[in-house]
Chains A and B, each alone.
Chain A
């Protein structure tokens, strides 16, 4: 399904299909911003607080800049974003596609010689693949800002010292490897959700099961792939 969908990517950029892609980008990105904002800011704040309190015992709390920035960019940014998107957008896609299958809308598309993969999967795949790295950058910014806020208010680490320390060890590699992870996670979520939607049976009960399976499989795949990608880039 993934391979078939990639073959249709040029078609998705035509004027007629572009609006559907934008709709999916809007649903995936803009509508998830509320949850992602809260989760990202508090992830950064918790990281800064936990790390800072331990480092303060040795008088090294100024190093939270590095700790928060590197951890957010390498791992927590893409990981947290992927979990939120899998739970909110992935489950919604599975439920929508599953409902279309059990109500035989997909069969109707096939009868009209409309390829369901091109019509249903492609816009969602593009939307998630594009929007996941974008949302991850947003998560990283908010996480780092949340860490800086905790550093300034509770650990007596000035904003300038926080940023200087973050610059010391964080590299562009960390940022871009994190974005690559997010891209891969986006594809995983879209593929899993669409696949679970397409294999839905048994009516409304089946739709619920497809939704649940989508979230579980996405979470597990994200965890395993996250480790494997880290292993590939940081030996």
Chain B
């Protein structure tokens, strides 16, 4: 009987402890999810917005990118939306401060971004209303951007030119597809390919001059090389003034003699041209007798 009571007590203690632990965890979870700062000091700030576009209770408050608090509550009044912010430390706003509701991502969500203002500007007077700015409407901005782009394209004639270019391209690609023109034939007619293939085969087989030049048999190359060597030697001989051609090129006397000879021959020819009619006439005249 005594053991049974001990066992029963053990069961009750175990169940009690387990439930107590879980209830403590529930309390912890509740505090965490309520986002209340129960242990530290918190500071309140009220900001009035024209509209907040989806800002909700519990959204974060950032100062220079640091998470410093939460949106505690939102109240709609006649003069705007009042957002009560709970902050971890007091914020001193200068006259050029800016408080903006900002989208946290393209998927949604908002946070409040606080710019305290320049330190060289005077502090905001105590009790002065703090006014915030609503979030930028990305969809509206995007629409405006697209409209502006479209207007610029249409107004500057870019769209017309682009359309004309596209039409030209369309015609061009149509002609290419139909095999018109050289490029069209290149694309559609495989005769050129066949010819190129045949030529390359002939080259590979060492047929023709080019083929022989390209072939592993270097006889033609050797002949050409010999011919070039012989020409080179001839040119060098001429350059040295050797032989008739060399003397003609290099020897001044030889040049003069040849020049004189040519002059004499020209004079002889001229004389012959002048005497030929007289000789002819005399021959005919005296031949008649």
By a CB distance below 8 angstroms, the chain A residues around B26 are: 137, 175
Give the nearest-CB partner of B60 in chain A. Answer: A168
Shortest CB distance B21–A (Å): 9
By a CB distance below 8 angstroms, the chain B residues around A164 are: 67
Q: Which of B94-113 contact A (CB under 8 A)?
A: 105, 107, 109
Against A, the Cβ 8 Å flags (1 = close, 0 = not) of B176-220 are 000000000000000000000000000000000000000000000
Against A, the Cβ 8 Å flags (1 = close, 0 = not) of B226-270 are 000000000000000000000000000000000000000000000
Of A25-33, A151-159, A209-217, which binds chain B?
Answer: A25-33
Give the nearest-CB partner of B59 in chain A. Answer: A168
By a CB distance below 8 angstroms, the chain B residues around A170 are: 33
Contact B14 A172 (CB under 8 A): no
Contact A175 B30 (CB under 8 A): yes
In the bound complex, CA of A29 to CA of B22 (Å): 12
Contact A22 B22 (CB under 8 A): no
In the bound complex, CA of A23 to CA of B12 (Å): 8
Q: Does A7 contact B (CB under 8 A)?
A: no
Main secondary structure of the interface of A (DSSP, over half): helix
Contact A172 B11 (CB under 8 A): no
Contact A137 B58 (CB under 8 A): no
By a CB distance below 8 angstroms, the chain A residues around B29 are: 137, 140-141, 175
By a CB distance below 8 angstroms, the chain B residues around A140 are: 29
Main secondary structure of the interface of B (DSSP, over half): helix
Q: Does B172 contact A (CB under 8 A)?
A: no
B interface bracket (residues with beta carbon within 8 Å of A): 20 to 34
Contact A134 B19 (CB under 8 A): yes
Contact B11 A22 (CB under 8 A): yes
Q: Does B46 contact A (CB under 8 A)?
A: no
Q: Which of B14-58 contact A (CB under 8 A)?
A: 14-15, 18-19, 22-23, 25-26, 29-30, 32-35, 58
In the bound complex, CA of A141 to CA of B25 (Å): 8
Contact A26 B11 (CB under 8 A): yes
By a CB distance below 8 angstroms, the chain A residues around B282 are: none
By a CB distance below 8 angstroms, the chain A residues around B33 are: 167, 170-172, 174-175
Give the nearest-CB partner of A127 in chain B. Answer: B15
By a CB distance below 8 angstroms, the chain B residues around A25 are: 15, 19
Contact A29 B30 (CB under 8 A): no
Give the nearest-CB partner of B16 in chain A. Answer: A22
Contact of A167 among B11, B25, B32 (CB under 8 A): B32
Interface centre among B15, B19, B105, B109 (most CB of A within 10 A): B15
By a CB distance below 8 angstroms, the chain B residues around A163 are: 32
Q: Does B8 contact A (CB under 8 A)?
A: yes
By a CB distance below 8 angstroms, the chain B residues around A172 are: 30, 33-34
In the bound complex, CA of A175 to CA of B15 (Å): 22
Q: Does A19 contact B (CB under 8 A)?
A: yes
By a CB distance below 8 angstroms, the chain B residues around A199 are: none
By a CB distance below 8 angstroms, the chain B residues around A30 are: 14-15, 18
Against A, the Cβ 8 Å flags (1 = close, 0 = not) of B107-131 are 1010000000000000000000000
A167-B35, A175-B33 known; A137+B11 contact, CB < 8 A = no
In the bound complex, CA of A168 to CA of B56 (Å): 10
Contact of B107 among A23, A60, A137, A168 (CB under 8 A): A60
Contact A137 B22 (CB under 8 A): yes
Contact A22 B15 (CB under 8 A): yes
Against A, the Cβ 8 Å flags (1 = close, 0 = not) of B122-152 are 0000000000000000000000000000000
Shortest CB distance B161–A (Å): 38
In the bound complex, CA of A163 to CA of B67 (Å): 14
Shortest CB distance A170–B (Å): 6
Contact B18 A134 (CB under 8 A): yes
Contact A168 B15 (CB under 8 A): no
Contact A168 B22 (CB under 8 A): no
In the bound complex, CA of A25 to CA of B60 (Å): 42
By a CB distance below 8 angstroms, the chain B residues around A130 are: 19
In the bound complex, CA of A141 to CA of B67 (Å): 25
By a CB distance below 8 angstroms, the chain B residues around A169 are: 109
In the bound complex, CA of A163 to CA of B29 (Å): 11
Contact A138 B22 (CB under 8 A): yes
Can you give 12 A-B contacts (C-beta < 8 A)?
A22-B8, A22-B12, A23-B8, A23-B11, A26-B15, A29-B18, A137-B29, A163-B32, A164-B67, A171-B33, A175-B29, A175-B30
**6 shortest interchain CB distances as A-B pairs:** A26-B11, A25-B15, A22-B12, A172-B33, A134-B22, A137-B22
**Which B residues fall within an 8 A CB radius of A?**
8, 11-12, 14-15, 18-19, 22-23, 25-26, 29-30, 32-35, 58-60, 67, 105, 107, 109
**Which A residues fall within an 8 A CB radius of B?**
19, 22-23, 25-26, 29-30, 60, 130, 134, 137-138, 140-141, 163-164, 167-172, 174-175
